[in-house]
């Protein structure tokens, strides 16, 4: 009394198909002459390697795009945070009690930016 088998999809289906193909190739090796099997399997292996290289280059390009976008968004966010903190400091009277905490917030943002290796102080100085 088992549950009905669910149709496989996604990665598991792909793995089952690939293992099935490999098993079929091994079975064919036993039925054909060694030279004939070697030629056939070599050509299949070359085609699969080319396909895998193409897939890997597509995956690498997609990952590169994601990482570059993430870095760009983070950089833009960090610059706008620092600019906002600078504007808040400029708007605060230096004699008021809020000036100290506002200055500390700005200095922490700048230190975090420098430690992350994203120092764009020339842009910040030009904006100020």
Domain residue ranges in the chain: 11-127
Long-range contacts of 108-111 (CB under 8 A, 24+ apart): 109/78, 109/81, 109/82, 109/85, 110/82
Predicted confidence (pLDDT) per residue in 16-45, tens digit: 777 777 777 777 766 666 777 778 778 888
Contact 79, 123 (CB under 8 A): yes
Return the axis-axis angle of helices 10-31 and 34-91, rounded to nearest 10°: 160
Q: Does position 115 have pLDDT exceeding 80, yes or no?
A: no
Query: What is the predicted pLDDT for the residue at 64?
Result: 86
Query: Rounded distance, CA 80 to CA 86, Å?
Result: 10
Predicted confidence (pLDDT) per residue in 77-98, tens digit: 667 888 888 898 889 888 889 9
Percent pLDDT > 70 in the chain is 73
Q: 47 in helix, strand or coil?
A: helix
> Higher-confidence residue: 92 or 75?
92
In the predicted model, what is the mean pLDDT of the chain?
75
- From residue 72, alpha-carbon distances to 32, 69, 117 in Å are 57, 5, 14
Contact 83, 110 (CB under 8 A): no
pTM for the full predicted model: 0.35
């Amino acid at each position: 009394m088992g549950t009905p088998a669910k149709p496989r999809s996604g990665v598991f289906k792909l793995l089952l198909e690939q293992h099935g193909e490999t098993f079929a190739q091994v079975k064919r090796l036993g039925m054909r002459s060694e030279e004939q099997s070697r030629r056939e399997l070599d050509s299949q292996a070359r085609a699969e390697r080319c396909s895998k290289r193409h897939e890997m280059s597509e995956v690498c390009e997609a990952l590169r795009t994601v990482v570059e976008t993430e870095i760009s968004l983070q950089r833009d966010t960090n610059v706008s945070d620092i600019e906002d903190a600078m504007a808040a400091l400029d708007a605060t009277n230096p004699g008021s009690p809020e000036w100290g905490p506002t200055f500390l917030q700005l200095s922490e943002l700048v230190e975090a930016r420098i430690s992350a290796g994203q120092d764009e102080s020339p842009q910040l100085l030009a904006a100020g």
